[in-house]
Amino acid sequence: MKLALAVATTLFPFAMLHAGTIRVPADQPSIDAALKSASAGDTIEVAAGLYREAVVIDASLDGVTLRGKGKVIIEPRDPQLGALGPGIQIAAANVTVRNLIVRHAKGGSEAGIEIQGANSVALEKVTVVHANGHGIVGSGKLLRIENCTVQGCNGGIELMSDGAIVRKTKVEQDGQNGIIVIGDSAIIEKCKVRMIEGGSGISVAGSLGRVESNDVSLIDTFGIWVDGAVSTVRGNKVRSLPDDGVGILVQHAQLGTVLEKNTITETSSSAILIAAGCSEVLVRKNVAKSCGVEDEPSFLVDAGFTTLEGNMAQRGQCDGFRVTTNFNELIGNVAKFCLEDGFDIDGGANVLTKNVSIGNGGEGIENSNALNSYYGNTSSKNRIDIAASAVFANFDGNVFKTGGANTLPEIDD
């Protein structure tokens, strides 16, 4: 029995030794007083009310849970002393903060909640409003933010964390950025980000990131920005980017990066931009509606060895698809009712198979570089269905009704 107790105590030290609950204000008059009397693994349960204090969970309080019961508001400013700094500072690992509201943080880092190099911290059902800095800022591994809200702050959520998770969280009416995670293996899913001034909606810098099923709108720059070796961007809705905003920007991506089933609407720049420096990115089954402006196409590929498959560009304000580089493959994409070209192929040695271009204001397909191959493509009801100023490598089974000045399929022998 003693051996079993010793093993249990070793494996579950907090549960066995420090599983007490301290109630505020029943047991202690303030959250600060409760934390000063707490031990690692304790739970601080806070009754409904307004608490004018700055909460600090220091490094000794590993495994502490701070939770509200009812509507709990933490306001880190004192009528006599003024601003007290961040609403909650967390320096201990394995901390959970749940069901609290933090408002009007000012001073110090000016964040509503600041995680200071602590691992495995979880924020659940926490609301941060009107912080003078970011709503939530943090560093440490395996940070998790779930079912939270950040509103009206001078910055949304910014984490430097490997393995971070931001899920079912709302960020709105913030300056600088919505959600930024710098670190590998990040997951951002089912979040809503809107009305961000001067920054991006969702940004992930690191490899093996996943950005999935988010709703992003009214962003000044990039709706979603991923920068890293391998990322998955799937099932997101990006809309209404008024000021030169790119829907989804991908940088430094390599084999294994996938963009699929995203819907991008009414951007003032490209819906999807695969930047120079990427390689072997797969762009599949995305839809762009009313995107682009002037010289910015709906889909822009500035990197080689990209595959575009089953995407649609509809009513684009410029070209539907533009490829500026070599050795890309376009399969089964559709461009329709765009103001300029359906497919503008500026690079060479690209392969286009079974793409459809219909009702566009310029050329259905414009081939302006050498040694591209075309198989089974259809172009109709465009101003000119195909225009070519360079020789083809292969040209087989295509259907075109009208042609431009240099459109005969001259094939390189």
Residue 5, H or E segment:
helix 2-11
Question: Residue 370, Cβ neighbours under 10 Å: how many?
Answer: 14
| Backbone torsions φ then ψ of 228, nearest 5 degrees | 170, 170
Q: Could you give all domains of the chain from N- to C-terminal order, each with its CATH number? A: 12-176 (2.160.20.10)
Cα torsion through 145, 149, 151, 154, rounded to 10: -10
CA–CA distance, 97 with 90 (Å, rounded to integer):
10
Per-residue pLDDT, 263: 98
- pTM over 0.85, yes/no: yes
Residue 135 contacts residue 166 (beta carbons within 8 Å): no
Alpha-carbon span 84 to 252, nearest angstrom = 41
- pLDDT computed for residue 378 by the predictor: 95
285: closest CA among 314, 255, 263?
263
Token pair, residue 345, equals 């192929």
Taking alpha carbons only, the member of 401, 409, 408 closest to residue 375 is 409
**Gyration radius from the chain CA atoms:** 27
222-242: average pLDDT: 95
The answer to whether 113 and 125 are in contact (CB under 8 A) is no
Cα separation, 399 vs 115, in Å, equals: 60
d(CA 268, CA 385): 26
Convert the pLDDT of each residue in 277-312 to its tens digit: 999 999 999 999 999 988 899 999 999 999 999 999
| pLDDT (mean) for 59-86 | 90
Q: How far is the C-alpha of 58 from the C-alpha of 76, rounded, in Å?
A: 17
Place of tokens 């030290």: 13
The position carrying tokens 């075309």 is 374
Residue 225's closest CA among 186, 173, 167? 186
Identify which has the larger pLDDT, 89 or 408: 89
238 is written with which tokens?
Answer: 């990006």
Q: Tell me the backbone φ, ψ of residue 249, rounded to 5 degrees.
A: -110, 130
Q: Within 13 Å and on the Cβ side, how many CA atoms surround 181? A: 32
Stretch 80-102: mean pLDDT: 91
Instruction: Quickly list H helices, 46-110.
Output: none
Is 33 strand, coil or helix? helix
Q: Give the pLDDT of residue 7.
A: 39
Task: Quote the longest CA-to-CA distance of the chain.
Answer: 92
Task: Quick: pLDDT tens for 303-339.
Answer: 999 999 999 999 999 999 999 999 999 999 999 999 9
The percent of residues in the chain predicted with pLDDT above 90, rounded, is 81
- 405 pLDDT more than 50: no
Local confidence band at 382 (pLDDT 50, 70, 90 cut-offs): very high
Per-residue model confidence as pLDDT tens digits over 107-160: 777 899 999 999 999 999 999 999 999 999 999 999 999 999 999 999 999 999
- Contact yes or no for 134/113 (Cβ under 8 A): no
Q: Which long-range contacts (CB under 8 A, 24 or more apart) does 374-382 make?
A: 374/398, 375/351, 377/352, 377/353, 378/354, 379/342, 382/342, 382/357, 382/358
CB atoms within 10 A of CB 308: 26
More confident residue, 206 or 16: 206
Encoded amino acid at 115, one letter? I
Predicted pLDDT at 409: 54
DSSP bridge partners of 96: 65, 122
Is the separation of the CB atoms in 191 and 179 below 8 Å? Answer: yes
Candidates 220, 111, 125; CA nearest to 156 is 111
Q: Pairing relation of β-strands 321-323 and 299-301?
A: parallel
The residue type found at 2 is K
Show Cβ contacts of residue 63 under 8 Å, excluding neighbours closer than 6 positions.
Answer: 14, 18, 40, 41, 92, 93, 94, 95
How far is 380 from 55, CA to CA, in rounded Å? 66
CA distances from 134 to 129, 156, 213, 372 (A): 10, 5, 24, 49
Q: Which residue's structure tokens are 């494996």?
A: 11
The amino acid sitting at 368 is S
